[in-house]
Amino acid sequence: MTLQEYKLAAYHLVYLIRCALNDKVPSEKMLKKMNLSNVHTVAETHFLSAMAAYAVESAGIDDERFMQDKLDGIRREILFNIERERLCAEFEKNHIWYVPLKGIIIKELYPHIGMRQMSDNDFLFDESKREQVHDIFVKDGYETEVYGVTNHDVYKKEPVYNFEMHIALANRNNPKEVRKYYENVTERLVRDEGFKMRMTDEDFYIYVTAHAYKHYVSRGTGLRTLVDIYLLRDLYSTLDKDYLRKEMKKLGIYEYEKKSRILAEKIFSGKAVSEEEKEMLNNYIFSSVYGTEDHLIENKFSHYNKSIIKYYFSRIFKPMLFVKSEYPFLREHKIFTPFMLVYMFLSRFFNTVTKNRKNFVSEMKAVLKLKK
């Protein structure tokens, strides 16, 4: 598929998503223009094939690929719902406060079950109970993929279960303003029921936006992010706009939120978009759900005013807020900080010249190309 074919398929996908969101049957005229095979390929990369399947099915088209994705989406959501409820009961029993994050909340806004294809479930939880939470997952047959190294632990179990348990809401991939803003996030939480906590509606909206922005300015983020933004419009209408404006400006995400919200509203309600908005839409189109390496390099390089020295300095030396976030034991044992900084530098240098030499060369070529 050429870039132009990919772009056309993505525009057709946007049309199908618009139909699914507004419970409308796609027109025969539009369907005849589509290469459904290409549309399905693009939909898969954006985790939107199950949603598009509802629109395709409503038009009386029996496409096995779309229908299978729809069934997989429904099955996965049902399994996740049951497993999440069971695990939360364990947290309650052990007096561990927890906060369901992102997709766990947003999926409820989608018109039908299984529409928001989920690969994992995210929770924020009591850092002091980290070992206890680890034991709960291990005892239940989960494999520990990451534990005690970053700001979140990852647990997986067949057939589909994947849980990311966060002790903090920001890590090295977040802009500096976001990392600082979420240092003391527990002060903003309110009790829901039992040991389940939640953010206020305003803070939840801000967090979802900040998370989307993190991806948008690094590797990029896909069309599903725009669907999420569109489905949050009813919540947005009820929020304290003065508070949103003030907090988002602190985070440097105010303009991004406004432009993305307006773009989402236009494309999923069938309104015309400006040339600037088309450019923003294309940024979403040419990123998958989790973005691309090319987007990451280009955005970071631009951030450092296309200075090769500043770019690679940032790649080698990480800010202290990141170090403390990724290695929590340093908060209580600050004396080891200089040694950890030396270790991190040597580790990154060794991995670059041995294991990741090809990636380094590829990255350098990309940087030099952008420098021209």
Distance between CA 65 and CA 67 in Å, rounded?
A: 6
pLDDT tens by residue, 13-67: 999 999 999 999 999 999 999 999 999 999 999 999 999 999 999 999 999 999 9
One-letter amino acid identity for 91?
Answer: F
Domain boundaries, given as residue ranges, for the chain: 1-62, 298-371
Write the CA distances from 358 to 293, 362, 364, 367, integer angstroms: 14, 6, 10, 14
Distance between CA 43 and CA 220 in Å, rounded?
A: 16
What is the CA angle 52-56-59, rounded to 5? 145
The pair of three-digit structure tokens given for residue 253, joined into one six-digit string: 């995400």
* Whether the predicted pLDDT of 285 surpasses 80: yes
Give the DSSP H or E segment for 169: none
Mean pLDDT of 349-364: 61
Q: What is the DSSP string of 211-249?
A: HHHHHHTTT---HHHHHHHHHTHHHHHTS-HHHHHHHHH
Distance between CA 325 and CA 330 in Å, rounded?
A: 9
* Whether the predicted pLDDT of 315 surpasses 60: no
Mean pLDDT of 189-195: 94
What is the CA angle 167-169-171, rounded to 5? 95
Question: What does the chain come to in residues?
Answer: 372
Please list the helix, strand and coil fractions of the chain in percent, rounded to the nearest 5, in that order: 65, 10, 30
More confident residue, 188 or 340: 188
296 Cβ neighbours under 8 A, 6+ residues apart: 218, 219, 220
More confident residue, 368 or 47: 47
Distance between CA 185 and CA 124 in Å, rounded?
A: 10
- Would you call 191 helix, strand, or coil by DSSP? strand
Contact 214, 178 (CB under 8 A): yes
More confident residue, 24 or 151: 24
Distance between CA 81 and CA 113 in Å, rounded?
A: 11
DSSP letter for 128, please.
G
* Whether the predicted pLDDT of 368 surpasses 60: no
pLDDT of residue 296: 43
pLDDT of residue 177: 76
- Would you call 98 helix, strand, or coil by DSSP? strand
Distance between CA 180 and CA 164 in Å, rounded?
A: 21
Distance between CA 308 and CA 110 in Å, rounded?
A: 44
pLDDT tens by residue, 92-102: 999 999 999 99
* Whether the predicted pLDDT of 316 surpasses 90: no
Distance between CA 202 and CA 247 in Å, rounded?
A: 10
Contact 156, 143 (CB under 8 A): yes
Distance between CA 71 and CA 73 in Å, rounded?
A: 5
pLDDT above 90: percentage of residues in the chain: 65
* pTM: predicted TM-score of the whole model, two decimal places: 0.78
The pair of three-digit structure tokens given for residue 137, joined into one six-digit string: 């997952």
Contact 315, 351 (CB under 8 A): no
Task: Look at the block and give the residue holding tokens 């997986």.
Answer: 156
pLDDT tens by residue, 114-131: 999 988 999 999 999 999
pLDDT of residue 229: 97
